[in-house]
Amino acid sequence: MNTDIRILSPCGMLGYGFPEQSFMNGLAFELHGIVVDAGSTDGGPHKLGAGVSIVSKRAVKKDLDIMITQGLPRKIPIIIGSAGGSGARTHVNWTLDIIDEILDERGLQAKVSVIWADFTQEEIHLASEEGRIKGLSPNIPPLTRERIDSTNSIVAQMGHEPIVEALKQGGDIIVCGRAYDPSPFAAIGIYHGKDPGLSYHLGKILECGALCAEPGTTKDSILGTISDDSFTVQSLNPNRTCSPTSVAAHTFYEKEHPYILHGPGFTLDLENCRFEEVEKGVVRVTGSRFLPAEKYFIKLEGARRVAYRTFVVAGIRDPILIGKLEEVEEYVRNQAREYYREIPESDYRIQFYNYGKNGVLGSKEPESFDGHEIGVMFEVVAKTQELANSICATVRSTFLHYGYQGRKSTAGNLAFPFAPSDIEFGPVYEFSVYHLMEMKNNAFRIEHR
């Protein structure tokens, strides 16, 4: 039986917002799921390490309010992937609190299912001892005991399986911890018996909202429809449209390879896909191939605190100083080191970023510089916040007053935009775990509330 399965993706990131009219246009179709991705590692390790979100509670509530008040009475399952940004326990709880607030304020009731994606250090140690941990590329340090012990927050990207299970168990709102971005979308198709290759490929497109349309954006809604041998994508905003090229090109986005995608327990091969326009703005895709892996690996993500930072932003306009900036910075660095000679140099780092000259590319900047102004940002990262603050203050005062050779502006070298000039940043994190782990049993626990 060929029943079409329709999935509405309101936007590419929960809390990014979407035009309500686009969403309402989607409700005109018979929908089988409203699914939104809330996660990403793009913003760096801080969210996972510190247990915070990158979008505001206010914005998440605004988006979820529309999804819940419209979806729940129509009995359309609502799924949130990688809740709270990183999908760890604190992020999931933060999202659940917002959902509870909405249900309470709107006088609605729902079966809320939660799928946890957290892993304990003991579980990772065990996997490591059993040889179930695998590196991803040579530039990622091996997962040593020390590395596991110093990483408090470890999650793994779930596949569609636990989400399909939660759907079977009748969850109205399914809140996923960390998930492979397309998984929550793929779960809808697979739950309804559709081909996993088509379901995942569609998921890969839908998780970014209307980014596959032209003009593309993550802040608008998109509709996906899966049949037995193909799926279609179409924009829900008349000001955007999908074309075969725009949909084909989307598979490039944020992936290491244009047509081979590795997910939990499978590889998706899109090399021989066909993209065609079946009616104005409706693009049909065929040929997405799902290749189950011999061993089921999930991707682990973990972040740990490595240091504390203090930084200063200042402008430099003096042409003589601009002409010898690196030399002056080197002097300032050495002066600060000399002043704090009782502190081991391995306890802190002093770094300068010369914006306008090579702030983005650093030593790899190919262009020569002939500007008249430079924005300089310098930071001290150290073992403790107190140490970072102290050394940064010394770097700042030395830089401000240093009488370099040939100086005419003897009153000061830096134009600070703010007072105070030194900004205490707080802890700095790093991705300390980014490895594959072979999964033995389903490791993602489902809980109903």
Residues that bind other proteins in the complex, under the rule CB under 8 A:
41-46, 136-140, 245, 248-249, 251-259, 271, 273-275, 306-307, 309, 349, 351, 353, 359-362, 364, 366, 381, 428-431, 434
Nearer to other proteins by Cβ, of 258 and 412: the residue is 258
User: Sheet of 231-235: strands edge to edge?
Assistant: 274-279, 282-286, 231-235, 222-226, 5-9, 33-37, 78-81, 173-176, 112-115, 446-448
Nearer to other proteins by Cβ, of 173 and 303: the residue is 303
Nearer to other proteins by Cβ, of 414 and 428: the residue is 428
Alpha-carbon distance 54 to 96, whole Å?
A: 16
To other proteins, the closest distance from the beta carbon of 248 in angstroms equals 4
To other proteins, the closest distance from the beta carbon of 326 in angstroms equals 16
To other proteins, the closest distance from the beta carbon of 252 in angstroms equals 5
Nearer to other proteins by Cβ, of 308 and 444: the residue is 308
To other proteins, the closest distance from the beta carbon of 359 in angstroms equals 7
Closest to 204 measured CA to CA, from 80, 288, 277, 137 = 288
Alpha-carbon distance 272 to 289, whole Å?
A: 9
To other proteins, the closest distance from the beta carbon of 428 in angstroms equals 6
CA–centroid distance for 260 within its chain: 20
Inter-helix orientation angle 57-71/89-106, to 10°:
50
- Decide if 302 contacts 154 (C-beta within 8 A): yes
Alpha-carbon distance 23 to 11, whole Å?
A: 9
Nearer to other proteins by Cβ, of 126 and 140: the residue is 140
Alpha-carbon distance 152 to 122, whole Å?
A: 11
To other proteins, the closest distance from the beta carbon of 255 in angstroms equals 6
- Decide if 414 contacts 315 (C-beta within 8 A): yes
Nearer to other proteins by Cβ, of 99 and 374: the residue is 374
